Amino acid sequence: MCNLPVRVVCRANAEYMSPSGKVPFIHVGNQVVSELGPIVQFVKAKGHSLSDGLDEVQKAEMKAYMELVNNMLLTAELYLQWCDDVTVEEITHPRYGSPYPWPLNRILAYQKQWEIRRKMKAIGWAGKSLEQVLEDVDQCCQALSQRLGTQPYFFNKQPTELDALVFGHLFTILTTQLTTDELSEKVKNYGNLTAFCRRIEQQYFEGHDKDNSGTAAARSAKRSLLR
Protein backbone atom coordinates (compact mmCIF):
# COMPACT_ATOMS: atom_id res chain seq x y z
CA MET A 1 0.00 0.00 0.00
CA CYS A 2 2.97 2.31 0.51
CA ASN A 3 4.43 1.25 -2.86
CA LEU A 4 7.61 0.01 -1.30
CA PRO A 5 9.57 -2.69 -3.16
CA VAL A 6 9.59 -5.87 -1.09
CA ARG A 7 10.65 -9.45 -1.70
CA VAL A 8 8.85 -12.15 0.24
CA VAL A 9 10.89 -15.14 1.34
CA CYS A 10 9.64 -18.19 3.21
CA ARG A 11 11.99 -19.78 5.70
CA ALA A 12 11.40 -22.48 8.26
CA ASN A 13 13.53 -20.85 10.92
CA ALA A 14 11.95 -17.44 10.47
CA GLU A 15 10.79 -17.33 14.08
CA TYR A 16 14.34 -17.81 15.29
CA MET A 17 15.82 -15.21 12.95
CA SER A 18 13.42 -12.57 14.14
CA PRO A 19 14.63 -10.32 16.97
CA SER A 20 11.39 -10.68 18.86
CA GLY A 21 10.69 -14.30 18.07
CA LYS A 22 7.68 -13.37 15.98
CA VAL A 23 7.10 -13.19 12.30
CA PRO A 24 6.91 -11.28 10.01
CA PHE A 25 10.07 -9.30 10.06
CA ILE A 26 11.80 -7.16 7.47
CA HIS A 27 15.45 -7.03 6.71
CA VAL A 28 16.53 -3.65 5.37
CA GLY A 29 20.21 -2.97 4.82
CA ASN A 30 21.67 -3.98 8.14
CA GLN A 31 18.52 -3.51 10.18
CA VAL A 32 15.99 -6.11 11.17
CA VAL A 33 12.57 -5.02 12.40
CA SER A 34 9.80 -7.40 13.40
CA GLU A 35 6.05 -7.24 13.98
CA LEU A 36 3.54 -4.87 12.50
CA GLY A 37 3.80 -2.07 15.07
CA PRO A 38 7.58 -1.58 14.89
CA ILE A 39 7.62 -2.08 11.10
CA VAL A 40 5.04 0.69 10.71
CA GLN A 41 7.12 2.96 12.94
CA PHE A 42 10.27 2.14 11.00
CA VAL A 43 8.65 2.86 7.64
CA LYS A 44 7.19 6.05 9.04
CA ALA A 45 10.64 7.17 10.19
CA LYS A 46 11.82 6.70 6.63
CA GLY A 47 9.10 9.02 5.42
CA HIS A 48 6.28 6.73 4.29
CA SER A 49 3.09 6.73 6.26
CA LEU A 50 -0.47 5.86 5.43
CA SER A 51 -2.14 7.69 8.28
CA ASP A 52 -0.74 11.20 7.90
CA GLY A 53 -3.99 12.52 6.55
CA LEU A 54 -5.98 11.56 9.63
CA ASP A 55 -6.84 13.96 12.41
CA GLU A 56 -6.27 13.18 16.08
CA VAL A 57 -9.66 11.67 16.79
CA GLN A 58 -9.43 9.47 13.68
CA LYS A 59 -5.97 8.29 14.69
CA ALA A 60 -7.36 7.38 18.11
CA GLU A 61 -10.14 5.45 16.42
CA MET A 62 -7.72 3.68 14.13
CA LYS A 63 -5.58 2.57 17.05
CA ALA A 64 -8.67 1.40 18.92
CA TYR A 65 -9.84 -0.70 15.96
CA MET A 66 -6.39 -2.19 15.52
CA GLU A 67 -6.47 -3.25 19.16
CA LEU A 68 -9.92 -4.76 18.63
CA VAL A 69 -8.60 -6.86 15.76
CA ASN A 70 -5.59 -7.94 17.79
CA ASN A 71 -7.64 -8.64 20.86
CA MET A 72 -10.45 -10.61 19.25
CA LEU A 73 -9.48 -11.92 15.84
CA LEU A 74 -5.89 -12.79 16.62
CA THR A 75 -6.77 -14.46 19.92
CA ALA A 76 -9.61 -16.36 18.27
CA GLU A 77 -7.27 -17.56 15.52
CA LEU A 78 -4.74 -18.72 18.11
CA TYR A 79 -7.49 -20.41 20.09
CA LEU A 80 -8.77 -22.25 17.08
CA GLN A 81 -5.32 -23.32 16.01
CA TRP A 82 -3.99 -24.42 19.35
CA CYS A 83 -6.82 -25.03 21.81
CA ASP A 84 -9.38 -26.83 19.69
CA ASP A 85 -8.33 -30.46 19.88
CA VAL A 86 -9.59 -31.58 16.49
CA THR A 87 -7.85 -28.78 14.63
CA VAL A 88 -4.68 -29.25 16.64
CA GLU A 89 -4.41 -32.93 15.81
CA GLU A 90 -5.26 -32.75 12.17
CA ILE A 91 -3.82 -29.50 10.99
CA THR A 92 -1.69 -27.51 13.39
CA HIS A 93 0.71 -30.15 14.66
CA PRO A 94 1.54 -31.52 11.21
CA ARG A 95 1.87 -28.04 9.74
CA TYR A 96 3.99 -26.59 12.52
CA GLY A 97 6.28 -29.58 12.73
CA SER A 98 6.59 -30.19 9.01
CA PRO A 99 10.08 -28.71 8.44
CA TYR A 100 11.61 -30.82 11.18
CA PRO A 101 12.40 -34.52 11.52
CA TRP A 102 10.82 -36.69 14.17
CA PRO A 103 10.89 -36.29 17.19
CA LEU A 104 11.67 -32.59 16.93
CA ASN A 105 8.43 -31.86 15.12
CA ARG A 106 6.32 -33.26 17.96
CA ILE A 107 8.37 -31.63 20.71
CA LEU A 108 8.31 -28.16 19.19
CA ALA A 109 4.61 -28.40 18.43
CA TYR A 110 3.76 -29.43 21.97
CA GLN A 111 5.97 -26.71 23.38
CA LYS A 112 4.26 -24.04 21.33
CA GLN A 113 0.87 -25.43 22.23
CA TRP A 114 1.67 -25.35 25.93
CA GLU A 115 2.87 -21.75 25.62
CA ILE A 116 -0.29 -20.63 23.84
CA ARG A 117 -2.56 -22.43 26.27
CA ARG A 118 -0.83 -20.73 29.19
CA LYS A 119 -1.44 -17.38 27.59
CA MET A 120 -5.11 -18.18 26.96
CA LYS A 121 -5.51 -19.14 30.59
CA ALA A 122 -3.95 -15.87 31.75
CA ILE A 123 -6.34 -13.74 29.73
CA GLY A 124 -9.38 -15.82 30.57
CA TRP A 125 -10.00 -17.47 27.22
CA ALA A 126 -9.20 -20.98 28.40
CA GLY A 127 -12.68 -21.40 29.81
CA LYS A 128 -14.38 -20.43 26.58
CA SER A 129 -16.06 -22.98 24.39
CA LEU A 130 -15.68 -22.99 20.62
CA GLU A 131 -19.17 -21.52 20.19
CA GLN A 132 -18.32 -18.61 22.46
CA VAL A 133 -15.13 -17.93 20.52
CA LEU A 134 -17.03 -18.01 17.23
CA GLU A 135 -19.59 -15.65 18.71
CA ASP A 136 -16.82 -13.24 19.66
CA VAL A 137 -15.45 -13.42 16.12
CA ASP A 138 -18.93 -12.68 14.82
CA GLN A 139 -19.22 -9.66 17.09
CA CYS A 140 -15.85 -8.38 15.97
CA CYS A 141 -16.73 -8.86 12.28
CA GLN A 142 -20.02 -7.11 12.85
CA ALA A 143 -18.21 -4.14 14.38
CA LEU A 144 -15.73 -4.02 11.49
CA SER A 145 -18.51 -4.36 8.95
CA GLN A 146 -20.49 -1.54 10.54
CA ARG A 147 -17.44 0.67 10.65
CA LEU A 148 -16.60 -0.06 7.02
CA GLY A 149 -20.15 0.48 5.80
CA THR A 150 -20.16 1.19 2.09
CA GLN A 151 -16.81 2.94 1.96
CA PRO A 152 -13.92 1.47 -0.02
CA TYR A 153 -11.55 1.66 2.96
CA PHE A 154 -12.01 2.21 6.67
CA PHE A 155 -11.08 5.85 6.50
CA ASN A 156 -12.78 6.56 3.23
CA LYS A 157 -10.60 7.04 0.20
CA GLN A 158 -7.14 6.09 1.35
CA PRO A 159 -6.00 2.81 2.84
CA THR A 160 -4.37 2.95 6.26
CA GLU A 161 -2.61 0.53 8.60
CA LEU A 162 -6.00 -0.64 9.82
CA ASP A 163 -6.97 -1.75 6.30
CA ALA A 164 -3.73 -3.69 6.00
CA LEU A 165 -4.24 -5.39 9.36
CA VAL A 166 -7.87 -6.29 8.74
CA PHE A 167 -7.04 -7.58 5.26
CA GLY A 168 -4.29 -9.78 6.67
CA HIS A 169 -6.53 -11.43 9.21
CA LEU A 170 -9.66 -11.77 7.11
CA PHE A 171 -7.82 -13.07 4.06
CA THR A 172 -6.16 -15.73 6.16
CA ILE A 173 -9.43 -16.75 7.74
CA LEU A 174 -11.19 -16.90 4.39
CA THR A 175 -8.55 -18.90 2.57
CA THR A 176 -7.16 -21.32 5.14
CA GLN A 177 -8.58 -24.82 5.04
CA LEU A 178 -9.65 -26.04 8.45
CA THR A 179 -11.62 -29.04 9.62
CA THR A 180 -14.78 -26.98 9.67
CA ASP A 181 -15.78 -23.89 7.77
CA GLU A 182 -17.48 -22.21 10.69
CA LEU A 183 -14.88 -19.48 11.11
CA SER A 184 -14.83 -18.47 7.47
CA GLU A 185 -18.62 -18.66 7.34
CA LYS A 186 -18.78 -16.08 10.12
CA VAL A 187 -16.72 -13.70 8.03
CA LYS A 188 -18.59 -14.48 4.81
CA ASN A 189 -21.82 -13.40 6.49
CA TYR A 190 -20.65 -9.84 6.01
CA GLY A 191 -20.65 -9.08 2.32
CA ASN A 192 -18.84 -5.79 2.56
CA LEU A 193 -15.91 -7.44 4.36
CA THR A 194 -15.44 -10.08 1.64
CA ALA A 195 -15.76 -7.40 -1.02
CA PHE A 196 -13.14 -5.36 0.85
CA CYS A 197 -10.70 -8.29 0.86
CA ARG A 198 -11.28 -9.05 -2.80
CA ARG A 199 -10.75 -5.43 -3.73
CA ILE A 200 -7.44 -5.17 -1.88
CA GLU A 201 -6.27 -8.48 -3.28
CA GLN A 202 -7.02 -7.37 -6.81
CA GLN A 203 -5.55 -3.96 -6.40
CA TYR A 204 -2.36 -4.74 -4.56
CA PHE A 205 -1.52 -8.38 -5.10
CA GLU A 206 -2.64 -9.46 -8.54
CA GLY A 207 -0.45 -7.05 -10.44
CA HIS A 208 2.64 -8.01 -8.51
CA ASP A 209 2.51 -11.74 -9.19
CA LYS A 210 4.82 -11.49 -12.14
CA ASP A 211 7.46 -9.66 -10.14
CA ASN A 212 7.59 -12.20 -7.37
CA SER A 213 10.77 -14.20 -7.48
CA GLY A 214 9.52 -16.82 -5.06
CA THR A 215 10.03 -20.53 -5.62
CA ALA A 216 7.51 -22.69 -7.39
CA ALA A 217 6.30 -23.98 -4.04
CA ALA A 218 5.63 -20.45 -2.86
CA ARG A 219 3.78 -19.67 -6.04
CA SER A 220 1.57 -22.71 -5.77
CA ALA A 221 0.90 -21.88 -2.14
CA LYS A 222 -0.55 -18.57 -3.25
CA ARG A 223 -4.23 -18.75 -2.75
CA SER A 224 -6.84 -16.60 -4.31
CA LEU A 225 -10.21 -15.47 -3.15
CA LEU A 226 -11.43 -15.55 -6.74
CA ARG A 227 -11.91 -19.29 -6.87
**Contacting another protein within 94-113 (CB under 8 A):** none
Q: Is 128 helix (H, G, I), strand (E, B) or coil?
A: coil
Q: How far is the CB of 122 from another protein (least distance, A)?
A: 4
CB of residue 206 vs another protein: minimum separation in angstroms?
A: 30
Continuous segment of H or E residues that includes residue 34: strand 31-34
CB of 59 to another protein, least distance (A): 8
Work out which of 4, 8, 11, 19 binds another protein, going by CB under 8 A: 19
Q: For another protein, what does the binding mask look like between residues 111 and 130, x meaning CB under 8 A?
A: -------xx--xxx------
According to CB under 8 A, which one of 25, 50, 65, 88 is a site residue for another protein?
65
Q: Which of residues 157-196 bind another protein (CB under 8 A)?
A: none
Q: Could you give the string, one character per residue 22-61, with x where binding to another protein holds by CB under 8 A and - elsewhere?
A: x---------------------------------xx-xxx
Count of C-beta atoms within a 10 Å radius of residue 93: 19
Run of H or E residues at 25: strand 25-28
Q: CB of residue 2 vs another protein: minimum separation in angstroms?
A: 23
* Helix 130-148 / helix 75-82 crossing angle, nearest 10 deg: 150
131 burial level (CB within 10 Å; 0-12, 13-18, 19+): exposed
Cα of first residue to Cα of last residue in the chain, in angstroms, is: 24
Q: Which helix (H) or strand (E) holds 31?
A: strand 31-34
Judging by beta carbons within 10 Å of its beta carbon (0-12, 13-18, 19+), is residue 196 exposed, middle or buried?
A: buried
# of chain residues touching another protein (CB under 8 A): 30
What's the min distance (Å) between Cβ of 76 and another protein?
13
Pick the binder of another protein from 88, 140, 166, 174 (CB under 8 A): 140
Asked, as a colleague might, if the bond just before 5 is cis with ω within 30 of 0, I would say no
Nearer to another protein by Cβ, of 101 and 127: the residue is: 127
Stretch that binds another protein, among 104-112, 143-151, 199-207, 208-216 (CB under 8 A): 143-151
Closest CA to 184 of 88, 24, 73, 36: 73
| Contact set with another protein (CB under 8 A) | 19-22, 56-57, 59-61, 63-65, 67-68, 70-72, 118-119, 122-124, 139-140, 142-144, 146-147, 149
